[in-house]
Chain A
Amino acid sequence: MRPRRALPALLLVVLLLGAWELYADFSGVQSAVLPAPHEVGTALWNGGAVLWRNFAVTAEEVVLGLAIALTAGFALAVAMHMVPLLRRAVYPLAVGSQAIPIPVIGVLLVFWWGFGVLPKLIVVALICFFPVLVTTADGLAGVDPEQLKLMRTLDASRWQSFRLAELPAALPAALSGARVALAVGVIGAFIAEVATPTTGAYPGLGRQILADAGPNFQTPRAYAGTAILFAFAIACFYALALAERRLAPYRTRTSGEPL
């Protein structure tokens, strides 16, 4: 996205921050309930080290967790497409997995994989694989049957049909799923940190925010941490949009800009 294209979003942010500032200053709402943007800014500046160290932990969880989610979701969709029996067996369970209240299995994940980063990655992956799975599976299933007939009369093997016709056709849908996954990846990491205890010196931004908003009585810093997550989600999303232009340029060329 070129700077000029970012302008409307930046203007809107300034507008919203202004409204928020006015509301916080003149409505009588307490700082512990809703800190004003300038207080959040100060907290962001002063709390730098704590916030950034914790953010590094969370960013790792998001990036690695998403990598697992995208790979697993895509691979599972391809496997389900190739083996209909697998589709019938796995699809309902994949849907059900999205209803699991993560804290219920948090202790089990820690019991299996310890207090390190791995249980968090599993939680992020569990939350984020689903949109990739569904969109990729639908994309693969949506290929014109006439196209597949044509591939067969050109003597294409099952694998060649997949590689030359089905996979590129499903790629835009898979990337749409990846964008949805990216958007929920950050909140996925928050849930992961809350649901699985950790022993590290920096528990991650999610736990930090939760502590600041509660027992620490540092609401402005909780909002500062939230602002970092907010910006990070946007950055991840646009990073994927760049990758998309390389992976599936035919999509942007036929249906305009992806964003």
Chain B
Amino acid sequence: MPAQLQTPPVPASQRDAGAVEVHEVWHSYATASGPLPALAGLSVTARAGSVLALVGPSGCGKTTLLELLCGLQEPARGTVSCPPAVLMPQQDLLLPWLDAGENAGLALRIAGMRRAEARARADAMFSELGIEGFQRSRPHELSGGMRQRVAFLRTLLSGKPVLCLDEPFGALDAITRAEMQDWLAGMLTREPRTVVLVTHDVEEAVLLADRVAVLSRRPGRVLGELEVGLPRPRRRSDAAVAELRAAALDLLAEARG
């Protein structure tokens, strides 16, 4: 392994609130057959209020990176500087014994808000999410796309400056996924946050992100980064989108090679 790199983190005063900086992070998991490296000197940054997409082959440590950002794990080496971040996992993980409104307001209840008040705050957001009228529905009564919207609202209402989305639409069918990508793009223009979006869908990355980082196979490191300086709303059929998509796919081919 290369020598350990220890650079001091950027002082908070010089940093925009909401910016994410990951510097030379190494991480591995203990397994029966020795340590399994997950990240190998990964560095990546996201400006405050921007969307960073991470694309890469399965098992390239993307989920590990999100858990580091959310403080669920500590990096073995390197520095992670990230404001409070909240995780939106691939499965919606809505609680089946709560209705949609209560699920969406979960973070408010955890923060100590009274049950009725939390649900009222959450209920009021449903129209903005395009699921008005489903506040009292139980999760199993909602479609996959609707559940992801509720899960996104739950993430949003945590009030944290950084959203970590782990393949949020990976479990949806292609048509619903395209619809949800447009929807999320719209939501993020209205409710700008710093977003770290993990996806294996290059088109999704180009459509939603300001910057796309392509990761290598496990152990993950950044192979290359693409700035997506395109105006919003973006369309799949835009030539510029197709161009960037091809560039990202080229980088991914490198990852496979």
Contact = CB atoms under 8 A, between A and B. Distances in A.
Interface of A: 144, 146-147, 149-157, 160, 164-165, 168, 248, 250, 253-254
A152 B110 CA distance: 10
A18 to B, nearest CB: 45
Contacts of B140: 253-254
Given A164-B95, A168-B97, A153 B110 contact: no
**For chain A, what secondary structure do more than half of its interface residues adopt (helix, strand, loop), or is it mixed?**
helix
Contact of A153 (B86, B95, B96): B86
B107 interface: yes
B85 interface: yes
Contacts of B96: 250, 254
A162 B164 CA distance: 24
Interface residues on B, range: 20 to 34
Interface of B: 67, 70-72, 85-87, 89, 91, 93, 95-97, 106-107, 109-111, 138, 140, 154, 158, 164
A159 B208 CA distance: 37
A45 B246 CA distance: 89
B158 A155 contact: yes
Nearest to A149: B72
Given A154-B110, A160-B110, A248 B97 contact: yes
A130 B138 CA distance: 33
B139 to A, nearest CB: 9
Given A149-B72, A253-B138, A154 B86 contact: yes
B93 A155 contact: no
A146 B93 contact: yes
Nearest to A171: B97
Given A144-B93, A154-B86, A164 B110 contact: yes
Shortest Cβ-Cβ A-B pairs, 10 listed: A153-B87, A250-B97, A168-B97, A153-B70, A154-B107, A156-B110, A153-B86, A147-B93, A250-B96, A150-B93
